[in-house]
Amino acid sequence: MLTVLFAFLCIIQVSLIAQTLDKTRSQLSSRSTGAINSLTQIDRNLDQLMDALVAHRLSGSDDGTPPTAQAYRTQFEVFWASVTVFSLTAPGTVDEMPAAKKVRTNAMAFLTGNDEQINRNTPLAANESIDLYNETKTLSEQFHNLGHDYFIELSMFSDELKDRTNRLYNTFLLFALLVVTCGGISLYTLFKANRKSIELIEKSSVTQARLTQVVDELRSGKLENKAKDSFIAAASHDLRQPLHALGLFLGALENHIKPTGHAIMEKAQQSSSALNRLLSSLLDLSRLDAGAVKVALRDFDIGKLIGTLEHEFQSTAKARNMVLKFDTDEQLVHTDRILIDRVLRNLIENALTHSRGTVLSVICKLHNGALQITVEDDGIGVPANSQDDIFSEYFQIGNPERDRSKGLGIGLSIVRRLSELLDLDLQFSSRTNQGTRFSVSVPLATGLTISPKPTDKFKLNNGTSRSILVAVIEDESGVREGMEVMLDNKGYRTVTADSATELLRQLKAFRNPPDVLISDYRLRQGLTGDQAIELVKTTLKLDIPSVIITGDTSPKRVKALTGGGYKLLHKPVEPASLLRVIQKLTEHPATSHPSKTG
């Protein structure tokens, strides 16, 4: 027993040493190259500011023309931007170096003290240019000395880490040898304990069977809020990211597939769209929770909408051996066309998926001054003890295995919430083996004007799009490549980067600024898409139409981003949806305006 205990303690010690080694190696590998690069960039910015000042002083002396202030003003703003984000942490700590604080304070004093002089309407005089050059040179020397001191501290810290690593490796080898020695002795002890463990395993099997039975009983009822939140979290970023990239690549491949491969391509797109619909259902719940669903009430012909539904669902009904009947006349109603379309779709899909009936009827008739739309089937119905739960989230009848082909069990929950949002009277009735009936009462039109029916098909004018520059910030290479290929194939000029800084560097090669900015929400180093977009807009001094793509379905996050004036798209984004947004943002010739924050 003592041998086993000693071996166990040795294993724990080896594990702790291994973790310390990993931590030390991580500290040793992160030599703060980013800080050195930042210092180098600031030093380069100061040199460029001094060069601009010298060029300014000389520009007016050669031919008598008044000097221009554009160059040194630009370099002054670039240096200001780099100082704003500058921070230098002492190696091995989380505290900023005192010397770095002092230099940054001096730099900010230099910037604020000369801002009015730099940005006035008239260029700098010769003596002012010389004085500003000398101040810039002094500040450059301070940053250079700071970099020298930081490099020395970093070298000393690196040497200390190497010594610590060597000591840890020697200790690790010693304990590893002890573990191997004790392991042989422990094997004999474990062999003797094996027989007793068999009895424990048999008992645990019985306990596991009972636990499985309890879990199955819990799954057959209403899921708790904690389980719901865990499910949404699991279906968010990690699942959306590859699906988002898949949709982009499929959209880019569409024009390059040979006729013989169109059938396979369509099946791949159908599979991608099916996954997209499941995740979109989860997103609908988050949008409703966040209050981010906007209602646009207008008059329109409900008959045309229902005719579209009849055409779309006939093939599905035929595949399920059901007869789909529609009885409706053209009738003007006053509600949100998109949201009522979603309500009716969910009701029809629910009946086709779960009713197991032979006939599904969609009937419209006037009732009490409103248009009552009824979706009725002759299927198995809903048991009386489950009728109070069918509008609950993730509740399903007869699907204990959670077959995803039967959906997630949130369609009727969305129907209830949207009906409440639109202030529609939703009625439900059902009897076992006699069918189920849903009805919603929609207000009649308030006027005679019908808004044009929105087009669902995206059309791209390549002649127009070829002049549009789309800038993309995405830190995952697969999604970035898919975005670039898809946009290029659709006729847009594109520039992609993994950060705002890299994007600004690449934009120097373009004559004009981007017409649209697209950014992923979660970027590297803890940055977010809105921060990256604001950095680009501030640097360029332009208010550029911006789109943020995210897999975060948090209601607070949705509300914050939409309230910030950004167009928000949720992963996975279908190529056609993204292209429609780009076209809408660029349909006017002037898409970039002077920034209010610049």
Model pLDDT for residues 20-66, shown as the tens digit of each residue: 666 655 554 554 567 778 888 888 888 888 888 888 888 755 555 55
Q: Which CATH class is domain 237-292+455-598?
A: alpha beta
Please give the radius of gyration of the chain, using alpha carbons only, rounded to the nearest integer.
Answer: 33
DSSP state of 583: H
184, two tokens: 């042989």
- Residue 291's pLDDT is 63
- What is the H or E stretch that residue 277 is in? helix 262-290
Q: Are 490 and 460 in contact (CB under 8 A)?
A: yes
- Residue 21's pLDDT is 60
539, two tokens: 């640097």
- Per-residue burial over 325-358, b if 16 or more Cβ lie within 10 Å, else e, is ebebeebbbbbbbebbebbbbbbbebbbbbbbbe
User: Nearest CA to 492 among 568, 550, 566, 578?
Assistant: 578
User: In angstroms, rounded to a whole number, what is the distance separating the alpha carbons of residues 558 and 293?
Assistant: 10
User: In angstroms, rounded to a whole number, what is the distance separating the alpha carbons of residues 321 and 462?
Assistant: 44
Q: Are 545 and 586 in contact (CB under 8 A)?
A: yes
Where do we find the tokens 């039109």? 445
- Residue 373's pLDDT is 92
- Residue 447's pLDDT is 62
For CA atoms 233, 235, 236, 241, the dihedral sign is positive
User: In angstroms, rounded to a whole number, what is the distance separating the alpha carbons of residues 176 and 392?
Assistant: 56
Q: Are 407 and 353 in contact (CB under 8 A)?
A: yes
- Beta bridge mates, 195: none
Model pLDDT for residues 432-446, shown as the tens digit of each residue: 888 889 999 999 987
User: Is the backbone peptide bond immediately before 400 cis, with ω within 30 degrees of 0?
Assistant: no
Q: Are 148 and 14 in contact (CB under 8 A)?
A: no
- Residue 461's pLDDT is 45
Phi, psi (rounded to 5 degrees) for 219: -70, -30
CA 429 to chain centre: 40
User: Nearest CA to 277 among 221, 225, 219, 345?
Assistant: 345
| DSSP track, 316-329 | HHHHTT-EEEEE--
User: In angstroms, rounded to a whole number, what is the distance separating the alpha carbons of residues 410 and 400?
Assistant: 15
Burial of 48 (0-12, 13-18, 19+ CB in 10 A): middle
- Residue 443's pLDDT is 93
- Residue 59's pLDDT is 74
The residues, ordered by sequence, that sit 6+ positions from 137 with a Cβ below 8 Å of its Cβ are 50
User: Nearest CA to 359 among 373, 386, 378?
Assistant: 378
Q: Are 536 and 545 in contact (CB under 8 A)?
A: no
393, two tokens: 């989230």
Where do we find the tokens 């992609």? 496
Q: Pairing mode, if any, of strands 425-431 and 435-443?
A: antiparallel
Residue ranges in the chain modelled with pLDDT below 70: 1-7, 10, 13-14, 18, 20-33, 60-69, 179, 183, 186, 190-191, 197, 200, 204, 211, 213-292, 329-330, 387, 393-409, 447-466, 552-556, 588-598
Phi, psi (rounded to 5 degrees) for 433: 65, 15
User: Nearest CA to 123 among 55, 27, 193?
Assistant: 55
Q: Which fold has domain 300-443?
A: Heat Shock Protein 90 (3.30.565)
CA end-to-end span of the chain: 73
